[in-house]
A and B are shown apart, each in its own frame.
Chain A
Amino acid sequence: MTAIEFQLRNGIDDAVDASSLRRSCLVGLSIDEIQQQPIQLSGRRVPLGEVFDVHVDHGVDDRLVVRGDLENVHGLAASHDQGDFIIEGSVGDYCAAGFSGGSLRVEGNAGNFVGGALAGKRTGMSGGLVRILGSVGSHAGHRMRRGMMLIEQDAGAALAASMVAGTIVLGGRHATNLGCEMKRGSILLCGRQAPEAFGGSARYSGRLPFAADFLRLYRDPPVTDLIQLLLASRSVLRVRADISSGGQGEILFPAESR
């Protein structure tokens, strides 16, 4: 059991590709070895220690913690496979890309393509729990295949685009092209939706009442906290998406929000 903590150094303003910062590659290394691991800073390959201050704590829960002004740090928690990953602050693009297990908590906003596919890969997130306490940019859950993503505030355009399976729970509002090219999977919209939502688009089926019995299986926070509006709703509506491309995905939302 090892906790590894990273603090972004002051003065790092260039884009950082932190997708190589993986638990599976770092566990068991000494602090010096961790600091020598390569990382991409503005396209240059530099030692990790030049970008982050590193602190290792043995004998505690298995987790990675990253702190600092991380909005220009991309690919954090990419390919994370087990244990807890905590990001204290807002983060850049491709956060949790290729995420496959364990849990991630982002205590801020996240950029585009949260839980999306890694470069060169066909599928996005394939397991685990990703929780964003703030909002996300566009294409969150792009090509998502499995697992659960909780977005407690708003989502940008093309949420769940080309989603294959899994569950996305959105606490706030969504933007355009929700579920475009979605094959399967579930999107639970817990916030208030615009009255015209899902109307007049060939992408979505009609809104129909739906007995979402499976929601009762969620018993633990934070999921239950977020889907409270759905659980408490007198009636849940469902549309299927993206029917224009033969998809069977589902979007659930409380009837009261219409």
Chain B
Amino acid sequence: MSETPLMNGVRIVPTFAEAFGMKATRVIITAADEIWARHAAVAMSGFGTSVIDCKLEIDIECELTAEQTPDGRPGFALLAFGMSGGELEKQIIRRAGQCVLTCPSTALFGGIEGEHSKRIGLGKALRFFGDGFQISKVINGRRYWRIPVMDGEFLCEHDVPRVDGIGGGNFLLIARDFAAASLAARAAVEAIQPLRDVIAPFPGGVVRSGSKVGSKYKTLIASTNDAYCPTLRGVTKSELSAEAGSVLEIVLDGLTFDAISNAMRIGIVAACEAAGDHGLLSVSAGNYGGKLGPHHFHLTEILQ
């Protein structure tokens, strides 16, 4: 224990986060003003915390100024991750149709630049809502659909790139009590929030119900991470010390290994600085022994 590094008095457990390959895309929602754009972005990213049951992990990546969007209007960039290309496409189209197409004044574009052969047919699928009155336009080599709706036209890019991403980067904030864990988690998420190419899809960027693979119940593929539940000390093989009373987890999905690694580093540093003197005891990470996920984020290496 004494050899483990400390950061502002917080012990950094010499372990690693284990993450998986996912399929990812970025979409850009614009609207007549920031308010409508935000409504659409919030709706589209709702119920998108975990692929376990949401089938998609999606969140707002950043807000965009009018100068940063394809049509010169304010907007938001969202990152979405799925376990397969087919599932990602299925879920993105459903959300675009129900949350963006429906929202006043919005338009929808791809947000990943460069040539990518793998595509997700967004407007390609949504155009049929136009019932034959839709109009296709190729502008600067990209195809768009103009779908007539009651406030004018819904402008939607025909298809958007699909790329490889990484899901499941994580770190655990182990604290004396909930107040300390919450303080640390909020500081970490606030520090991560401005970063590009990465999202923390859980509510407020934080998850309390960390899970392990499998369950005693055959119908469940995941169940509570009993080793980090303070109330289960004494009845299960716990990873928590006697003084640990609350654990919160930050889960990160990113477009690259470096994006997640950087976000973990910045988040952990912020958490330790904010809560090291207020009850944050240690920082750990979730893994499955390195046998399931190919991407390993070693905490001590990240923080060097």
Interface, chain A (partner B; CB < 8 A) = 146-148, 165, 167, 184, 186, 211, 213-214, 216-220, 248, 250
- Total number of A-B contacts with CB less than 8 angstroms? 39
Q: Are B144 and A219 in contact (CB under 8 A)?
A: no
Which chain A residues lie closer than 8 Å to B140 at the CB level? 217-220
- We find that the number of chain B residues with CB closer than 8 angstroms to chain A is 17
Which chain A residues lie closer than 8 Å to B277 at the CB level? none
Q: Are B138 and A146 in contact (CB under 8 A)?
A: yes
Q: Would A217 and B136 be within 8 Å (CB), given that A211-B152, A211-B153 are in contact?
A: no
Q: Are A217 and B71 in contact (CB under 8 A)?
A: yes
Contact of B153 (CB < 8 Å), options: A148, A165, A213: A213
Shortest distance in angstroms between A226's beta carbon and chain B's nearest beta carbon? Answer: 14
Q: Are A248 and B155 in contact (CB under 8 A)?
A: no
Cα of A186 to Cα of B137 in the assembled complex, Å:
9
4 residue pairs, one from A and one from B, having the closest CB atoms: A216-B71, A217-B139, A211-B152, A216-B72
Which chain B residues lie closer than 8 Å to A147 at the CB level? 138
Q: Does B251 contact A (CB under 8 A)?
A: no
- 19 more CB-based (< 8 A) A-B contacts, given A184-B135, A213-B107: A146-B138, A147-B138, A148-B138, A167-B137, A186-B135, A211-B152, A213-B71, A214-B71, A214-B137, A214-B144, A214-B153, A214-B155, A216-B71, A217-B70, A217-B137, A217-B140, A218-B140, A220-B140, A250-B135
Closest-by-CB residue of B relative to A212 is B153
Interface, chain B (partner A; CB < 8 A) = 70-73, 107, 133, 135-140, 144, 146, 152-153, 155
Shortest distance in angstroms between A199's beta carbon and chain B's nearest beta carbon? Answer: 24
Closest-by-CB residue of A relative to B152 is A211
- Report whether over half of chain B's contact residues are helix, strand or loop; otherwise say mixed: strand
Q: Could you jot down 20 A-B contacts, CB within 8 Å?
A: A147-B138, A165-B136, A167-B137, A186-B135, A211-B152, A211-B153, A213-B71, A214-B71, A214-B137, A214-B139, A214-B146, A214-B153, A214-B155, A216-B71, A217-B71, A217-B140, A218-B139, A218-B140, A248-B133, A248-B135
Closest-by-CB residue of A relative to B132 is A248
Which chain A residues lie closer than 8 Å to B70 at the CB level? 217
Cα of A248 to Cα of B133 in the assembled complex, Å:
8
Cα of A220 to Cα of B140 in the assembled complex, Å:
8
Closest-by-CB residue of A relative to B139 is A217
Shortest distance in angstroms between B299's beta carbon and chain A's nearest beta carbon? Answer: 44
Cα of A76 to Cα of B66 in the assembled complex, Å:
42
Cα of A11 to Cα of B73 in the assembled complex, Å:
57
Which chain A residues lie closer than 8 Å to B136 at the CB level? 165
Shortest distance in angstroms between B15's beta carbon and chain A's nearest beta carbon? Answer: 48
Shortest distance in angstroms between B111's beta carbon and chain A's nearest beta carbon? Answer: 15
Cα of A211 to Cα of B71 in the assembled complex, Å:
13
Which chain A residues lie closer than 8 Å to B146 at the CB level? 214
Which chain A residues lie closer than 8 Å to B139 at the CB level? 214, 217-218
Which chain B residues lie closer than 8 Å to A248 at the CB level? 133, 135
Which chain A residues lie closer than 8 Å to B73 at the CB level? 216
Cα of A146 to Cα of B144 in the assembled complex, Å:
13
Which chain B residues lie closer than 8 Å to A167 at the CB level? 137
Cα of A216 to Cα of B31 in the assembled complex, Å:
13
Which chain A residues lie closer than 8 Å to B144 at the CB level? 214, 217
Cα of A165 to Cα of B137 in the assembled complex, Å:
9
Which chain A residues lie closer than 8 Å to B72 at the CB level? 216
Shortest distance in angstroms between B156's beta carbon and chain A's nearest beta carbon? Answer: 11
Cα of A214 to Cα of B133 in the assembled complex, Å:
16
Cα of A250 to Cα of B138 in the assembled complex, Å:
15
Cα of A117 to Cα of B140 in the assembled complex, Å:
24
